[in-house]
């Protein structure tokens, strides 16, 4: 079906999506993703910047409160950071701290999460590691920017990717709750959803995180909404890349 274009957060987003079933997404770029065995694969979003404080996150995402956390310009996998989700009991939007690297409830240990920092939009509805979270536990990941490394051989250049005039924006995410069989400790974790890179970022990496426009926050968080518009960002004037 033909692609459509929407205006969002100062960027234009182009997407082509089949809505007959929630897991069927037609999208430009490569397909594939982490296998159910969670083997290591190249990922796009392996670091990000969250330089905004809890008050700014609270205002932007319209949540009652945001847990205190240390502002971090280089958030890394296994670290805890704020996510925005729908509280499963109240049905209201809330913020909580979660560990980066999704660990499904059936995983044997937390090490599983080190292989699940990113979920590919093309396959997340079907892979065992992500499908339950996709159907029941979506989230937004607040960021100020995300990072990627590009270059050939051993010389890699770090790039900081951000939105002009937008000190805070959201990436699509999934979250899970895992309980240790050894001591009963409960840990909440999350992953960042990625898609095919736009033309400019493709020169650095073939993947990029899915950026969610503010007017689509509710739609992404609503797990009852199966006709999702999962889109590929197209480079416009609002997207910036700086050497980090």
The residue from 52, 122, 139, 148 that is catalytic is 148
- Number of C-alpha atoms within 13 angstroms, CB side, residue 130? 30
Q: Which residues contact 204 (CB under 8 A, 6 or more apart)?
A: 148, 149, 150, 157, 159, 197, 241
Q: Measured between alpha carbons, how far is residue 165 from residues 96, 141, 215 in Å? A: 26, 18, 17
DSSP labels for 63-122?
A: -S-------EEEE-TT-EEEEEEE-TTT--EEEEEEEES---TT-SSGGGGGG-SEEETT
Could you confirm whether 79 is annotated as catalytic? no
Q: Which two tokens stand for residue 88?
A: 């499963």
Identify whether the C-beta of residue 163 lies closer than 8 Å to the C-beta of residue 238: yes
Nearest Cα to 241, choosing from 145, 165, 142, 109? Answer: 145
Could you confirm whether 148 is annotated as catalytic? yes
Q: Please give the Cα distance from 187 to 113 (Å, whole number).
A: 11
Nearest Cα to 243, choosing from 161, 166, 121? Answer: 161
Catalytic positions, written as ranges: 45, 148
């Amino acid at each position: 079906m033909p692609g459509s274009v929407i205006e969002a957060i100062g960027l234009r987003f182009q997407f082509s999506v089949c809505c007959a079933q929630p897991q069927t997404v037609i999208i430009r770029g490569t397909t594939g993703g982490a296998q159910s065995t969670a083997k290591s694969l190249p990922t796009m979003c392996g670091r990000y910047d969250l330089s905004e404080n809890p008050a700014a996150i609270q205002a932007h995402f319209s949540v009652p409160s945001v847990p205190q956390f240390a502002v971090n310009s280089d958030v890394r996998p296994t670290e805890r950071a704020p996510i925005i989700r729908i509280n499963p009991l109240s049905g209201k939007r809330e913020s909580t701290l979660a560990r980066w690297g999704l660990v499904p409830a059936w995983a044997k240990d937390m090490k599983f999460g080190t292989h699940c920092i990113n979920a590919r939009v093309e396959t997340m509805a079907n892979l065992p590691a992500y499908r339950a979270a996709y159907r029941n536990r979506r989230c937004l990941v607040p960021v100020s920017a995300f990072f990627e490394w590009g270059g050939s051989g051993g010389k890699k250049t770090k790039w900081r990717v951000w939105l002009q005039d937008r000190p805070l924006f959201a990436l699509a995410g999934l979250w899970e709750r895992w309980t240790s069989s050894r001591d009963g400790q409960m840990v909440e974790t999350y992953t960042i959803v990625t898609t095919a890179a736009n033309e400019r970022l493709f020169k650095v990496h073939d993947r990029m995180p899915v950026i969610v426009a503010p007017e689509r926050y509710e739609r992404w968080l609503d797990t009852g909404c199966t006709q999702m518009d999962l889109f590929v960002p197209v480079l416009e004037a609002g997207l910036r890349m700086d050497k980090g």
